[in-house]
Amino acid sequence: MFKYCQWPRTVLVFIVMGASILLMIALQAVGPAAQLPTGVVLRVSGAVSQPLALSLQDLAAMPRTKVTATEHDNTAIYEGVALAEILQKAGATTGKLLRGKALASYVVVTAHDGYRVVFALPELDPDFNDTAQRIILADTINGKPLPDKQGPVRIVVPQEKRPARWIRMVESIEVVKLP
């Protein structure tokens, strides 16, 4: 009956287009991280006792760490704050309190474009991991501020073979504690 009729195909095209539009609207609503207030480059939230909104000046005042790391065959010196230091300042469960169910906690780092990476909380705790102090939130490369396409801050994990978790344009860090 509909063998030579074009309207079922047309209806199907409109249904697919409508679903695509709804998906785009939903992604824009959830999409990339919310706009940060002026001066704030990073929010730290979730299962922490002291949520933070940090500026570049706040980060500059914290203990600094330098790491030499290679990304895509380019070696550079990054400087910034150890992620462990930021989590301790925010009051995340660390050290001797990080045991039992708390060991299932994790950290979600989100970039401006919505890209996310995950770290297990013990990975970022110097009491569990000797390389935790080398995982940094960098704000400089070779002594200069990060370029716009990388910063103002980014995660650098020099001990990893692939830089997949070297997330650029970081805007938020959320600590998640599983029940």
- Determine the pLDDT at residue 33: 47
Residue 19: per-residue pLDDT: 41
Question: What pLDDT does residue 154 have?
Answer: 97
- Among 10-19, 76-85, 160-169, the range scoring the smallest mean pLDDT is 10-19
Contact 89, 175 (CB under 8 A): no
Per-residue confidence band for 14, with pLDDT thresholds at 50, 70 and 90: very low
> So what's the pLDDT on residue 2?
52
- The answer to whether residue 139 scores a pLDDT higher than 50 is yes
User: What is the average pLDDT across 162-166?
Assistant: 92
Q: What pTM was estimated for this model as a whole?
A: 0.78
pLDDT tens-digit map of 39-98: 889 999 999 999 999 999 999 999 999 999 998 889 999 999 999 999 999 999 999 999
What does the chain come to in residues?
Answer: 179
Q: Is the dihedral of CA 136, 139, 141, 143 positive or negative?
A: negative
The Cα–Cα gap between 163 and 142 comes to: 18
